Structure 1
Amino acid sequence: MVDAPIKKIGIVAIFLISMAAILGASDFYYLAGMSAKHMGAAAIIAWLILALFAFLVGMYFAELISMFPTGGGIYEIAKETYGRFSSFMVAWLIWIVGNFSMALAIVAAVEYLLPYQGTAYVIVGILFGIFWIVALNYMAFRGLNISTIMIATFGVLTLGVCLMTIIPSLINIPALFSSGTIDTFFSVDHFIPFFESTSIEGNILFLSMTIFLISELWFGFESVSFLANDTKNPEKTLPNALMITIGIVTLLLLAYFIASLGVLPLEIFASASVPFGLIGKITMGPFGEKALVLGTYLIILGGAALWPVTGARLLKHMADDKLFVKQGAEIHKKTKTPYKAIMFQTIAIIAFFLLLMREFILGYKDPYEVGHALYLFLNMMVLFVTIFAVTVWRFKDPPRERPFKAPLGKVGPSLIIIIYVFCFCAWLYLDWLFAISIVKKGLVLMFVGIPLYLLVETHFDKYFIVKTNDTLAFLAFFIEKFTLPQKIIDSIVFLLGDIKGKKLLEYGCGVGTLTEDLAVRILPGGELYATDLSKKRARITERRIKDKGHFHVHVIHDEEHATRVHPDVPNVDVIASVNMVGYVQEVDKVLFELNRLLPINGKICVVENDKYFKLIPNVHWLSKDDYIIELFSNAGFKVEVTRTQGLLWEYVFIYGEKVKEVKPVKMDKPPAPGDTI
């Protein structure tokens, strides 16, 4: 059977997808009622101001998308604008925000369909949420054609549900059809008083806070940017579809808020868990109630449907740029989707979802309120970095072609950022304890990206590896007992067997943690060669060894350590290595060189870290024991593999002996899972 070709997406489909992405869970389920709770009928002003900002932000996104119409979306924009590190941090925030967005939508669906609490709620809600997370990610795995149809369908439903709420609120349809009279359920009295507070300062503060809390209206633009490679004429189609969507969404939200508040009294509208249902019951009877409840539920799920597609594409582009593990770029032969990225993302979204549901189990605040506030804070960072790129490029490359050019490109983004920061500060001032707790959590999540960036770079860039190891040499010395505990050293020595009087190579000595122990155990008559890629680490090791009087130890710094064994190392009896082979750029070549140094039956023990935080893998060839055994076997070794769980990572022990001589064979790359040598 021949796979169906992947079709390019047109402007209508992009419009419907944008509708589902932007007009998602929060806009109806949470934002409208929450804005009425804080500002009353005057929340209309907040929605009008936000609509203006949304148009400007949308135009800045449209300009950037027209300049960089690639499948990398705003990650690619950040890479071209700010460089590699900044693009990783932006991608990290996008990924966190996207996962939170989908987890929030699933939590909203749980709360909307099962609006009760207790043990039964938590159990059923968790099972319900996991089912939909897996189902939506499975649809993303099936391919873009199916995903496009699904998300566009959600867009049509979203538009239909909005109109089913607005029109019957303004015109009494049952009365019109039954008696031909024109009547309305709309009451102007529900808008009186218009302002909840008589204080000008109080109204400004609450208005600013409300604008911040409903600013999700301009989120969702970033998801659409990842569809450029699959869109017809993306530099024009995406900006045009985005601006059309923003215009229609703004009108719909304003109409929905005004119509809903005209039907429901303020107190009921602000506190109702299912306002759609109440409005439908009043305007269209029991049928209307059921139709709108079901429709709202589908809108909420539609808000979650796009992220599995765009999130997997983000991970794939990061993997292509060597900013994510290599497995993230692997494409399924049949569906043509980055299936391993989708699998990883599914697990991550479930983790985010469970983290939010944990709030119920522990009796904290509404998990949606907590998650939504965290989502706003993190997305604020992505927004600032993205729209400021417009200003950067206006100064950096003024003549550059811009199929869509936004107004006030040099000053507009900065003005929006300043106003948005003021609204954020108003939220901090009015809800300090809750807001500052969210900020702390958000900063922790954001700064976790820095060690992750260092971790990724050390796997792919040998020059970065050297520079980083030099920079962190003294820190490594002070935390050596944590990174390489004595029990791990004892295990290595046990696996090497009797090394007394033998000649030994320590390939990657670090700061000398293992070197000191081995230097004692090979006496009397032994000799130890300790090599490392970092000059500072080698110096620390040499100083420690000299202080101990171990003149039988030779410390060698090798700038090319990641691709070879130093030529000054003679034949040895035993080889040990800790956290070095994982850095090697040409694993097969180095293993052949290690084979050359050993006699038949010469022992080898390699220890590497894997599964950082029980989730993040090391280099791809460490992923499965069979791959490791195959790799070493082709280099002439017979090894076994065992794994021991540490506090923050897993220790992988690879130990055995040389069983045959081999001739080096040049390979283009180390074996990936499933490759043969």
Structure 2
Amino acid sequence: MAELRRSLGYFAIISLAVASIMGTGLFYGAGIAPQYAGNASILSWVVLSLFGLYIAACFGELTSMFPEAGGVYEFCKRAYGRFFSFIIGWVAWLVGNITTSLIVVAAVNLIMPSHPGTIIWKFFIAVGIIILLNYIAFLGSEASAATLVMLATVSFVVILAFLIPGFGHIDPANFQPFFEFGTGAIFVAVFFIAESFFGWESATFLSEETNNPEKVIPKSLIIGTLITAVAVILVNIVSLGAVPWRELAGADVPFLYVAGQIFNPLTAKLLAIGVFVTMINSAFGGAVTMPRLILALARDRLFLSQFSKIHKTRATPYKAIIFQTIVSLLILYMGFGSYFLLLSLLLPLGFIMYAFVLLAVPILRKKMPGMKRPFNAPFPIIGPIISVMFILYLVVKWIAYEPNAWSVLSLGVSLVFFGFPLYFLISLYYDPEMITEANDIVAYFTLFTERISLPGKVKKEILAILGSLKGKTVLEYGCSVGTLTLDLARAVGPDGRLYAVDLSRNDLKITQKRIEKLVWSSKERIHGRVTIIHDDQQVYRLHSGVSYSDVIVSVGMLGYIQDIEKMLREFYSILPPDGKICFVEYGDFFKLIPNVEWLSKNEVVSEVFRRAGFSVQVERKKGLFWNYIYVYGIKSHEAITLV
């Protein structure tokens, strides 16, 4: 099976860290922060830089402990457990997608003037950029690393080209008055420029593709944050020194507005192209890293397992990249032309994610005190707590200053809570315990809708495949509410026997009542002896109460079996030579959600059964809300072609 390939070193990870952390704040922040703090916004950048360095250190410690592709999801899984780690992973995914859209929107607005006739062209250019970036990410970590290093080099050249001549244009008078809005405004400005330092998580997602990640990634995060901090502070000193802050606050792109005051028109245009490349570099960081988060979730069965596949030659999670491309395009479509809305939505979501990651440091210090930490964050207990309190303070300040803060915060929180039903839906898809609990809760609903889930036509086809069952012993693996059980009981006749096994007690109670009703309604015995067995471990192994069966039949259970080859061997052990099997599975739920991966191709299904000693025929038939996968055949030592 293909795996991720370790090929990344310091230069690639530092380039990624700088690209991901720098964001759009370097070029837009000089206009946003002064709106709230005036010239004192320079101190906002200093405060944010110090805070960012500490967060980078916390990420460094966690990455050194768990250098895996899941990054923040992996940290939170160890600290908080399965549910909260999924929610944090969900938030990280939202933050990553919104950030990518935010940067692409800003980059396209940078190179094209805002006129009604250009909107459609700007949108299609943005679409093309996202597709191109994701295609490069698909090509492999080496191609991605080369692109990141190349684009990062352009970024450094652009910043130096701005700063070196820019210092000569600073007018000290432009810094007066300095504390025009008071010291409290400094922290309000910090909230709105915080996006400039979002992105520490990106490098952690590449842990499994980095050489010596326990050392390389923590150091790269610190170096990348330090480079970003120096760059943004110096750029803002030059910007506010060269141009009065009120002019910057009204500029579309403050960085280029200042460049226009310093350079001749041709140089300013070249610098604009360089800024565009730098912003695309930031967006590329998300294209490279976010599919690794999907990969980690899929591995842990918190996302569709198909997205955990690695390309054989490119060694990239190609299905996750395709999915990520589609989602990025959808978010781009929904948020195109709404830079400030995207920014306002991104900030509370980012703070929620970082708060949980920061608190994971002291929690894991307590839960895993003896675990090796190649990199140690300073003040590991009190530091993260103070940092989270600072985040809460920033949010409170934002709410107090910004009239629409509550509506934006509510929208952000609603996106977080949308992850709750998503978690339960995915758990119903994979988690046996959740499946059992859900089946118990909805047992009577299942009874009410049984003609939809198992139509009469499908039942007739199953019985036709099995042929005559008179006098035989039949195992119904997963009898649910007895939809097929009654037909099987009649089919085996008075001399036959039926084992009806299920993991839901409430489903079995309904089945028991239906069997009893069948007994009392019959003037003479026309059905077999029915043994109902509750087995809460049904998806792991065959119940010991079933030692022999001529026929095994099951509906809707194959996808839940945790180890299919082990279970098939156990089925094989209780069947006689030429014993029959018939499994019917649901596929492509609502024509959108696929089944588990091994059921996606007929050849794979046939091979799985063949290895267990069965010769089977696999057929797929269309249904109203889902498709049906029929797997039927016999126990045989040699492969037999069934007709």
Band of TM-score, shorter chain = 0.7 to 0.9
RMSD of Structure 2 on Structure 1 (CA): 3.9
Among the aligned pairs, what percent are the same residue? 31
107-116 or 485-494, which deviates more? 485-494
Moved more, 487-496 or 142-151: 487-496
The code of the aligned residue for 2:227 comes to I
Q: 1:557 is matched by which residue type in structure 2?
A: H
Any idea what the Cα deviations from partners look like across 1:285-323, whole Å, max 9, x if unmatched?
111221121111111110011233323333444445554
Distance 1:324 1:482, change over 3 A: farther
Structure 2 vs 1, CA of residues 613 and 243 (structure 1 numbering), >3 Å: closer, same or farther?
Answer: farther
CA distance in 1, matches of 2:98, 2:449: 32
CA distance in 2, matches of 1:483, 1:638: 29
Q: Do structure 1's residue 166 and structure 2's residue 140 form an aligned pair?
A: no
Decide whether the 8 Å contact of 1:104 with 1:368 is kept in 2. Answer: yes
Rounded Cα–Cα distance in structure 1 between residues aligned with 2:130 and 2:449: 36
Change (3 A) 1:601 1:296: same
Change (3 A) 1:619 1:38: same
Find the aligned partners of 2:552 and 2:76 in 1 and give their Cα distance. 48
Size of the alignment, in residue pairs?
A: 617
**Aligned mate of 2:122, from 121, 125, 142:** 125
Task: Pick from 591, 603, 606 the counterpart of residue 584 of structure 2.
Answer: 606
> SS of 2:264's equivalent?
helix
Q: Is the 8 A contact 1:54 1:217 kept in 2?
A: no
Give the partner amino acid of 2:60.
A
Partner residue, 1:642: 621
Partner AA of 1:155 in structure 2: A
Counting only pairs closer than 5 Å after superposition, residues 651-670 of structure 1 correspond to structure 2 as 651-655=626-630, 658=633, 661-663=635-637
Tell me if the contact between 1:538 and 1:555 (Cα under 8 Å) persists in the aligned partners: yes
- 2:108 is the alignment partner of 1:110: yes
Which has the larger displacement, 548-557 or 421-430? 548-557
Q: 1:402 to 1:604 in 2, by over 3 A?
A: closer
Query: Within the alignment, does 1:48 sit opposite 2:27 as a pair?
Result: no
| Contact persistence 1:373–1:438 (CA under 8 A) | no
Matched residue, 1:97: 95
Equivalent pair of 2:56/2:200 in contact (CA under 8 Å): yes
Matches within 5 A, 1:608-623: 608-610=586-588, 614=592, 616-623=593-600
Alpha-carbon offset, residue 250 of structure 1: 1.4
SS in 2 for 1:561: coil
**Aligned equivalents of 2:187, 2:547: Cα separation in 1:** 68
- Change in CA separation of 1:142 and 1:316 when aligned onto 2, cut-off 3 Å: same
The change in CA–CA distance for 1:270 and 1:533 in structure 2 (over 3 A counts) is same
Unaligned runs of 5+ in 1: 172-183, 358-365, 459-464, 666-677
Match of 1:414 in 2: 385
Q: Say which of 484, 493, 501 aligns to 2:459.
A: 493
Of 129-138 and 542-551, the range deviating more from structure 2: 542-551
1:520: Cα distance to partner?
Answer: 11
1:373 is matched with 344
Alpha-carbon distance in structure 2 between the residues aligned to 1:43 and 1:516: 73
Q: CA deviation at 1:423?
A: 1.5
Contact 1:502 1:527 in 2 (8 A): no
Moved more, 298-307 or 310-319: 310-319
Shift of 1:505: 5.8
- Structure-1-length-normalised TM-score: 0.79
Asked whether the 8 Å contact 2:587–2:629 carries over to 1, the reply is no
Structure 2 partner of 1:477: 443
Q: Which amino acid aligns with 2:74?
A: E
1:126-525 aligned within 5 A: 126-171=123-168, 184=169, 186-194=170-178, 197=181, 204=184, 206-231=185-210, 233-357=212-336, 366-398=337-369, 400-429=371-400, 430=402, 431-452=404-425, 454-455=427-428, 457-458=430-431, 465=432, 467-477=433-443, 479-480=445-446, 486=452, 488-493=454-459, 495-496=461-462, 506-512=476-482, 514-515=483-484, 518=487
d(CA) in 2 for partners of 1:56, 1:480: 53
Counterpart Cα distance in 2 of 1:491 and 1:125? 53
Cα displacement (A) at 1:475: 2.5
Structure 1: which amino acid aligns with 2:636?
Answer: V
Long gaps (5+) in structure 2 = 522-526
The secondary structure found in structure 2 opposite 1:47 is: helix
> How far apart, CA to CA, are the structure 2 residues paired with 1:664 and 1:342?
41
SS of residue matched to 1:333: coil
Q: Which residue of 2 aligns with 1:32?
A: 30
Distance change (3 Å), C-alpha of 1:604 and 1:210 = same
**2:524 corresponds to which residue?**
none
Q: TM-score, normalised by structure 2?
A: 0.83
Partner of 2:71: 73
Matched residue type, 2:388: I
Equivalence for 1:22: 21
Deviation, structure 1 residue 9 = 0.9
